Amino acid sequence: MMKTIKQTSLILMLCIVLNACSSDNTNQEFGDLEINFTNLVGENNLELNTETYAKNGNETYSVSELKYIISNIVLTDTEGNQFVYPQGDSYFLINEAIPQSQNIKLENINANTYTSITIGFGVDQSKYPLNGVDNFVPTAEDQGMLWAWSAGYKFLKFEGIYTSSNVTDKPFLFHIGSHGQNLDNYREITLNFLQPLALSPSKTPEVNINFDVQKIFNADFDLLLSDKDDIQIDPENAPKIVDNITKAFEIVLN
Amino acid sequence: MRFLIFFLGILILSACQNEALDESYENISNENEVQENVFLDLNIPSNFPEPTYEIENNKPTQAGFELGKKLFYDGRLSSTGVISCGFCHIQDFAFTHHTHIVSHGVNGALGTRNAPSLQNMIFMEDFNWDGSVSHLDAQPVVPITTEFEMNESVTNVLNKLQNDEEYVEMFNTAFENDTIDTRNMFKAISQFVMMMVSTDSKYDKVMRNEGSSFTEIEMQGKSVFDQKCASCHAGTLFTDQSYRNNGLPIDPQYNDEGRKRVTGEEVDKYKFKVPSLRNIAVTFPYMHDGRLPTLRDVLDYYDTGMVQTQNLDEIFIQEDGSLGISLSETEKDQIIAYLNTLTDDNFLLDDRFSEF
């Protein structure tokens, strides 16, 4: 009886081993990567509610809420080869009010030396809701980053109050996402590492990325809150905001 | 014997270096489940176009379909536990909210639009009267989370399902990764809805030469329809899937801007999706806000009721400046007779889709 069990289990083990070996079995090693996002206004850490900041057009503002979605992370190595992080695990909601949301850890990345990182801002609607984007629904929903009427994500939720020559402490509100096929506000941003990033099973590198809130108003385009302080489904201004945002990220340490 | 075990042990360890062992286990179990779970055939007939839905990404199975059906008819998808998808989408009326001008949600809340029919969804490019959803799998988000519909959160729905043994078992059977998550829930609902194809009306049987033929009045109706209606209600689906302003007087109660809500474009103000006319005889009342009770009212409206509002479709502006589509009373009778041939009893009475 005992012998039969032993023999059976041996055969079973052999089968498993053979099966395992039949798949591609290169000696690829894996490592992890940590990315820390810091939201700044110019040089200073963003402070919600308590600080008032000067902006272009002689306006001042303070921020009550800043949230945005980062997705589709791709690393490019020294040879130009790309490592595409699994899309289903690639959606992150950075929320200024939740410090731990600003530190993300990517796991099981091919060990290699990388020279740049590409991040998506928002959700690529050509893939929506496939590739796991749908499993991001509860996270987005809990933090108010989902529209109810359109089954779409808010890529950016940015709110506060502002003062201009005409108004004092008036609310402003930017809710930016994609709408239908014609208003695609998803953007991809490629950032070069300051020095080649070596990633191995024994070394988990950290990358610090700054996001400069000021640039939302003022990069490619100059936006005045006194011109428009409520920007949501807006085919003219929403694309300007995300174009500005492509200039707002900067790697400061790796 | 011991040596053999030792040798095998080494083999396994080296094989496991990159987790290949786990993968092989997964493959074995997946194959078994696929064998248990029968794929369903959509049977799309020759007179229909290619589906827009990527069926390969979510092939309907018996278990997925049954799960989707249970979800579709389950009131627990709403905050009050009683409003299911099927509450507003009733099969006998091509999955519309029969006789309800605008649809009702939790606690008697009223919506602003008439529930559209659910049929031939796999051929549609986008969804809802304003095209606010561009993928069938994403559609459930809207009714689940809208305050005056099911007024629930997706997170809460998933929690309810995860605490229900029957659902746990059904998700296990339907999906390889055994998980109750948003993706699988939406995929299951899509598997149910994608099987709802209405392709077996008298019209279809005539078109496919399956032994039916139009009566004289139906034939006359087809002729008028093809001349005066088919540029928008085009093709086998009886819609060109475009958004148009068909000149309805603006209802101040809703002041519904239609497609503009989705695109933000002024040129899309007051435009709504051209609806399919399949099973149109049973989907009353009509228009995006259900303001017209009968087909006769609809034809009277196109004949004499249209008003000039922003972005009125040019197709309705006649050479002499008059608005609408001129129709005689005889032509109206004929068109209605023709539209009645689009009623597909095999679909409306199909047991596979029925709640009980």
**Contact criterion met (CB below 8 Å) for A129 and B185:** no
Cβ contact, residue pair A27, B18, below 8 Å: yes
Q: What percent of chain B has pLDDT over 90?
A: 82
Residue B29 pLDDT: 45
Global ipTM? 0.78
| Minimal CA separation from B142 to chain A, in Å | 5
**Contact criterion met (CB below 8 Å) for B47 and B207:** yes
CA distance A20 to B224: 67
User: Does residue B20 belong to the interface with chain A, where contact is any CB pair within 8 Å?
Assistant: yes
Task: Identify each DSSP E strand in B128-215 by its residue range.
Answer: none
Q: Closest Cα partner for B100 from B82, B88, B85?
A: B88
CA distance B298 to B29: 56
Cβ contact, residue pair A26, B18, below 8 Å: yes
Q: Is it the case that residue B6 has pLDDT exceeding 60?
A: no
CA distance A77 to A117: 9
pLDDT digits (tens, 9 = 90+) for A36-63: 999 999 999 999 999 999 999 999 999 9
Average pLDDT rounded to a whole number, residues B95-104: 88
Q: Is it the case that residue B214 has pLDDT exceeding 80?
A: yes
Structure tokens, B266: 């002024």
Region of residue B84 (phi > 0: left; psi between -120 and 50: alpha; otherwise: beta): beta
The secondary element (H helix, E strand) that includes residue A92 is strand A92-95
**Contact criterion met (CB below 8 Å) for A171 and A161:** yes
List chain A residues with pLDDT less than 70: 1-26, 126-132, 151, 180-181
pLDDT digits (tens, 9 = 90+) for B46-65: 999 999 999 999 999 999 99
Q: Which of B6, B18, B150 to mutate to test the interface with A (most CBs of A within 10 A)?
A: B18
User: Does residue B31 belong to the interface with chain A, where contact is any CB pair within 8 Å?
Assistant: no
Structure tokens, B174: 């339907």
Task: Work out the number of other CB atoms within 10 angstroms of the CB of residue B153.
Answer: 18
CA distance B21 to A173: 51
Task: Work out the number of other CB atoms within 10 angstroms of the CB of residue B355.
Answer: 11
Structure tokens, A186: 């998803």
Average pLDDT rounded to a whole number, residues B99-120: 91
Structure tokens, B278: 């399949």
Interface of A with B in 13-32 (CB under 8 A): 13-14, 16-17, 19-21, 23, 25-28
User: Closest chain B residue to A110 measured between Cα atoms?
Assistant: B18
DSSP track, B50-62: --SS-GGGG--BH
Q: Which residues of B touch A233 (CB under 8 A)?
A: 261-264
User: Does residue B155 belong to the interface with chain A, where contact is any CB pair within 8 Å?
Assistant: yes
CA distance A61 to A217: 11
Cβ contact, residue pair B15, A135, below 8 Å: no
CA distance A104 to A101: 7
- Report the amino acid identity of residue B57: N
Average pLDDT rounded to a whole number, residues B242-267: 94
pLDDT digits (tens, 9 = 90+) for B156-165: 999 999 999 9
Q: Closest Cα partner for B71 from B201, B160, B203?
A: B160
Residue A5 pLDDT: 54
Q: Is it the case that residue B36 has pLDDT exceeding 70?
A: no
Q: Closest Cα partner for B262 from B89, B116, B127?
A: B127
CA distance A106 to B178: 24
User: Does residue B264 belong to the interface with chain A, where contact is any CB pair within 8 Å?
Assistant: yes
CA distance B274 to B204: 20
Which of B12, B54, B57 faces A13 most closely, judged by CB atoms? B12
User: Does residue B18 belong to the interface with chain A, where contact is any CB pair within 8 Å?
Assistant: yes
Q: Which of B53, B182, B260, B272 to mutate to test the interface with A (most CBs of A within 10 A)?
A: B182
User: Does residue A238 belong to the interface with chain B, where contact is any CB pair within 8 Å?
Assistant: yes
Rounded (10°) CA dihedral B154, B157, B158, B161 = -160
Rounded (10°) CA dihedral B156, B160, B163, B168 = -110
Q: Is it the case that residue B27 has pLDDT exceeding 60?
A: no
Q: Which residues of B touch A17 (CB under 8 A)?
A: 8, 11-12, 15
User: Does residue B2 belong to the interface with chain A, where contact is any CB pair within 8 Å?
Assistant: no
Residue B17 pLDDT: 44
The length of chain A is: 254
Measure CA B73 to chain center.
Answer: 15
Structure tokens, B295: 């087909």
Q: Which residues of B touch A27 (CB under 8 A)?
A: 17-18
Q: Is it the case that residue B300 has pLDDT exceeding 90?
A: yes
CA distance A120 to A234: 21
DSSP track, B261-292: HHH--GGGTTBEE----TTGGGS-SBSTT--B
**Contact criterion met (CB below 8 Å) for A105 and A207:** no
pTM: 0.84
Report the SS3 class of residue B159: helix
Q: Which of A2, A4, A7, A17 to mutate to test the interface with B (most CBs of B within 10 A)?
A: A17
Report the SS3 class of residue B26: helix
Average pLDDT rounded to a whole number, residues B13-19: 44
In angstroms, the Cα distances linking A193 to A6, A50, A215, B14 are: 54, 33, 21, 35
Q: Which residues of A touch B153 (CB under 8 A)?
A: 138, 141-142
Residue B14 pLDDT: 47
Interface of A with B in 178-207 (CB under 8 A): 179-183
pLDDT digits (tens, 9 = 90+) for A185-201: 999 999 999 999 999 99
Q: DSSP secondary-structure letter at B112? A: S
Q: Closest Cα partner for A173 from A144, A141, A134?
A: A144
Q: Closest Cα partner for A132 from B16, B83, B184, B339?
A: B184
Residue A179 pLDDT: 76
CA distance A110 to A117: 14
Q: What are phi and psi of A190, to 5 degrees?
A: -105, 130
pLDDT digits (tens, 9 = 90+) for B120-146: 999 999 999 999 988 899 899 999 999
Which of B21, B126, B153 faces A180 most closely, judged by CB atoms? B126
Q: Is it the case that residue B21 has pLDDT exceeding 50?
A: no
The separation between the first and the last C-alpha atoms of chain A, rounded to the nearest angstrom, is 60
Q: Closest Cα partner for A252 from A45, A13, A111?
A: A45
What letters, b where the CB count within 10 A reaches 16 and e where it falls short, cover A149-185? bbbbbbbbbbebbbbbeeeeeeebebbbbbbbeebbb
Q: Report the mean per-residue pLDDT for chain B.
A: 90
Burial class (CB in 10 A: 0-12, 13-18, 19+), B346: exposed
In angstroms, the Cα distances linking A110 to A202, A203, B60, B332 are: 12, 12, 35, 68
pLDDT digits (tens, 9 = 90+) for B220-247: 999 999 999 999 999 999 999 999 999 9
CA distance B90 to B98: 7
